[in-house]
A and B are shown apart, each in its own frame.
Chain A
């Protein structure tokens, strides 16, 4: 029996420089954003990322995002920022107000991946948890362990993590290898481990809404014939 395969015959591949809506994002979200764009075949987004390592030094974020906005304002129809407050203490929002640019809601990526209301409700009882996302779990050794100097000075472990009780790995995709990385990270820190699948949460719903607002085109599905059943 010949059936119609509604899967695209060719993978839709994101390429920078084609869209007219610029997403300025933390580098820790790059993979997730591109995955969403490709999965949804959104053609109107362009993405520029800033260094994910600023997770540890948030004072770098605000001036760099402002610089990106100003450098690109005339080149795009609109700009949207994919950063949480990320420890900027409201300064990111203040700057974005001044520039007339919006961002995804939430204090951190942990929150918008989990869903902001759900995260806020949980955090009341979960403030001794150290959160990992896919990105942080993948790059734990470089970003957290070495980034905090624990590779050189493991004796500082209790200064950094003495008050934490567990690692909660908020997974965007289910990947056994990343789960294993996260579990090993918890072991290294001497903390309990919890796995929680979130998916892309509000990152996906916000981008979906943005794509609707801007009435953006999606790449057409190519109808091909083939045996799918």
Chain B
């Protein structure tokens, strides 16, 4: 404890400090998370270890409690903002230290839709899991998706929609990929509140991802499968 009764993060050992980061992420305490990240780095932790053990694990717990109805959107947003602050510190260090890359994803909200809360969470968690994420933002036409795919050559295309009226646009993008003979070159993952497995199957996506945690697990599984296929030749 410090003199003013607040917990002095420096006084915690590594194990307790990591647990404290989990708590602080859960409570959306951005400044505390930033401080703890800097302390762990100062103690010689590799940026990738800080990311995975402190931030990603903390957000995984937040994700579970959100799924189970214990936490709600405002709390998840606060936690995400705290994680974002931690990642802002780590990002240049991760690049400099050559942290492992699992794959590359282009992600964006479809045309006519400006909702990006879920899409931003997925992007952040994918980045935390070791994916390079190219975020196209909101209101993306098929042309924008195609241009980004051409430019970045991702492994995964992620599309998000919040509206019943905009989600059919995902099929427009997938059908265009088919027409151009590009469909099988990419894993297509879709998500958003009004979507479901059935819809994803009907439009020809590879996977529906209910939340950010599922998106990460699904992406990892697809990448593992891809590597296995490559290894078999």
Interface size range on B against A: 20 to 34
Instruction: Report the bound CA distance from A85 to B114 in whole Å.
Output: 19
Q: Give the contacting residue for A107; candidates B81, B113, B139, B163; CB below 8 A.
A: B163
Is the pair A156, B199 in contact by a Cβ cutoff of 8 Å?
no
A89 CA / B203 CA spacing, docked (Å) = 13
Q: Which B141-192 residues have a C-beta within 8 angstroms of A?
A: 162-167
Chain A interface helix/strand/loop/mixed: loop
Q: Looking at the assembled complex, report how far the CB atom of B200 sits from the nearest CB atom of chain A, in whole angstroms.
A: 10
Q: Contact check, B194 vs A87: say whether CB atoms are below 8 A apart.
A: yes
- Whether the pair A58, B138 counts as a contact (CB closer than 8 A) is no
Q: Given the known A-B contacts A148-B74, A149-B74, are A163 and B164 also in contact in the complex, defined by CB atoms under 8 Å?
A: no
Interface residues of A, count at CB 8 A: 24
Any chain A CB within 8 A of the CB of B19? no
Q: Are B81 and A87 in contact (CB under 8 A)?
A: no
- Cβ contacts under 8 Å, A226 to chain B: none
B12 at the interface (CB under 8 A from A): no
Chain B CB within 8 A of A98 CB: no
How far is it, in angstroms, between the C-alpha of A90 and the C-alpha of B138 when the chains are bound? 23
Name B's interface SS.
Answer: loop
A72 to chain B, nearest CB (A): 26
**CB within 8 Å of B: which of A110-149?**
120, 123-124, 127-128, 148-149
Name the one of A90, A153, A160 contacting B78, with C-beta atoms under 8 angstroms: A153
Taking a contact as CB atoms closer than 8 A, the residue among B77, B115, B167 that contacts A156 in the complex is: B77
Contact between chains at B112 and A127 (CB < 8 Å): yes
C-alpha spacing A155/B75, complex, angstroms: 12
Contact A149 B112 (CB under 8 A): no
State how many angstroms separate the Cβ of A86 from the closest Cβ of chain B: 8
- With an 8 A cutoff between CB atoms, is B195 at the interface? yes
23 contacts between A and B (CB under 8 A): A85-B194, A87-B162, A88-B164, A88-B194, A89-B193, A89-B194, A89-B199, A90-B164, A107-B163, A120-B165, A127-B112, A128-B114, A149-B72, A149-B73, A149-B74, A149-B77, A152-B74, A153-B77, A155-B81, A156-B74, A156-B77, A156-B78, A163-B115
Given A85-B194, A149-B73, A163-B138, output 6 extra A-B contacts at Cβ < 8 Å: A58-B193, A87-B162, A87-B193, A88-B194, A123-B165, A164-B114
